[in-house]
């Protein structure tokens, strides 16, 4: 009797399983097929991206070899071609290289334009800010101080990748524009900052020491903007270092 009951229960379980399989089987099968296809697509895209990255790396190296050999025009064409076809990282780097070629030729406006394009390609803030800061240095040399000041606003925010280099450049811009209060404040903060790199800190200290218009006597609320150079000497202030030569 017990065996008979067990056999009946087993048959009932089979019937329930078959009913469930009949009802949900097509959906489970479709889900399994979708999972397999999805995995295959992801693997294919990954392999394609890897191949594209390798191809961009080889093209970038070849372009740089041409530049190093002195064929700058061909190198620029290759860098621009890479920027049109490569993923954002290599595209941004290629545009920065093309900007450097234009800067070497003295085409500052074109160099700034390419650096602006480069900044738009990068997704990493450090790379993006580097391109923007390079453009700001070029415009500083061109005397376009208002443009530089506007560009430095996001670069001088606390925690920005090149915050202290941007603050230093902002100090030089203020100095050139005759805003001694702002210039002195910028350099004083950089000279005292505990997390400021040694190069930036040293230059800030030098600016405060050798620039009479940035020096304030005890009790002064702001430095005398009309103070002459000491002993009639033409004191030359150190220029801000570019981000290429400064370790942050």
Q: Which of 48, 211, 196, 90 is nearest to 98 (CA)?
A: 90
Q: Which of 237, 222, 241 is nearest to 175 (CA)?
A: 237
Contact 60, 91 (CB under 8 A): no
Q: Does residue 132 sit within a domain?
A: no
Q: Tokens representing 240? A: 């801000």
Q: 53 and 152: one domain?
A: no
Calpha distance 204→188 (Å, rounded): 7
Q: Does residue 66 sit within a domain?
A: yes
Q: Does residue 137 sit within a domain?
A: no
Q: Which of 88, 100, 108, 106 is nearest to 64 (CA)?
A: 100
Q: 107 and 149: one domain?
A: no
Q: 149 and 73: one domain?
A: no
Q: 107 and 162: one domain?
A: no
Contact 208, 214 (CB under 8 A): yes
CB burial of 119-138 (b: ≥16 within 10 Å; e: otherwise) equals bebbeeeebbbbbbbbbbbb
pLDDT tens column, 115-158: 999 999 988 899 999 999 999 999 999 999 999 999 999 999 99
Domain boundary among 93, 123, 153: 123
Q: 116 and 152: one domain?
A: no
Looking at the structure of the chain, the number of domains it has is 2
Q: Does residue 180 sit within a domain?
A: yes
Q: 108 and 190: one domain?
A: no
Q: 157 and 225: one domain?
A: yes
Q: Does residue 45 sit within a domain?
A: yes
Please compute, for residue 112, the number of CA atoms within 13 A of its CA located in the half-sphere on the CB side. Answer: 16
Domain that holds residue 87: 19-123
Domain boundary among 75, 92, 123: 123
Q: 119 and 151: one domain?
A: no
Q: 149 and 246: one domain?
A: yes
Q: 113 and 155: one domain?
A: no
Question: What's residue 177's pLDDT?
Answer: 94
Q: 175 and 212: one domain?
A: yes
How many beta carbons lie within 10 A of that of residue 209, not counting itself?
A: 13
How many beta carbons lie within 10 A of that of residue 206, not counting itself?
A: 14
- Mean pLDDT, the chain, integer: 76
Q: Does residue 5 sit within a domain?
A: no
φ and ψ at residue 150, rounded to 5 degrees: -65, -40
Q: 68 and 152: one domain?
A: no
Calpha distance 189→206 (Å, rounded): 13
Q: Does residue 157 sit within a domain?
A: yes
Contact 111, 95 (CB under 8 A): no
Domain boundary among 71, 94, 123: 123
Q: Does residue 1 sit within a domain?
A: no
Calpha distance 69→75 (Å, rounded): 9
pLDDT tens column, 29-49: 555 555 555 554 444 344 444
Low-confidence ranges of the chain (pLDDT < 50): 1-5, 8, 40-49, 52, 217-237, 247-248
């Amino acid at each position: 009797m017990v065996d008979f009951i067990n056999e009946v229960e087993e048959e009932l379980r089979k019937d329930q399983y078959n009913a469930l399989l009949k009802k949900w089987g097509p959906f489970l099968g479709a889900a399994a097929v979708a999972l397999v296809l999805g995995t295959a697509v992801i693997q294919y895209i990954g392999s394609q991206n890897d191949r594209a990255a390798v191809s961009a790396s080889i093209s970038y190296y070849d372009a740089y070899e041409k530049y190093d050999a002195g064929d700058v025009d061909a190198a620029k064409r290759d860098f621009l071609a890479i920027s049109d076809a490569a993923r954002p990282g290599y595209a941004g780097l290629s545009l920065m290289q093309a900007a450097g070629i234009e800067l070497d030729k003295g085409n500052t406006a074109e160099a700034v334009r390419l650096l602006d394009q480069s900044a738009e390609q990068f997704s990493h803030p450090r790379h993006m800010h580097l391109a923007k800061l390079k453009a700001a240095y070029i415009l500083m040399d061109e005397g376009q101080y208002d443009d530089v000041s506007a560009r430095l606003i996001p670069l001088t925010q606390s925690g920005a990748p090149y915050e202290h280099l941007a603050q230093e450049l902002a100090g030089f811009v203020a100095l050139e524009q005759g805003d001694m209060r702002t210039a002195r404040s910028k350099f004083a903060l950089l000279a005292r900052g505990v997390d400021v790199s040694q190069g930036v800190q040293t230059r800030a200290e030098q600016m405060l020491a050798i620039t009479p218009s940035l020096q304030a006597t005890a009790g002064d609320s702001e430095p005398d903007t009309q103070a002459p150079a000491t002993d009639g000497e033409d004191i030359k202030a150190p220029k801000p270092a570019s981000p290429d030569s400064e370790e942050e």
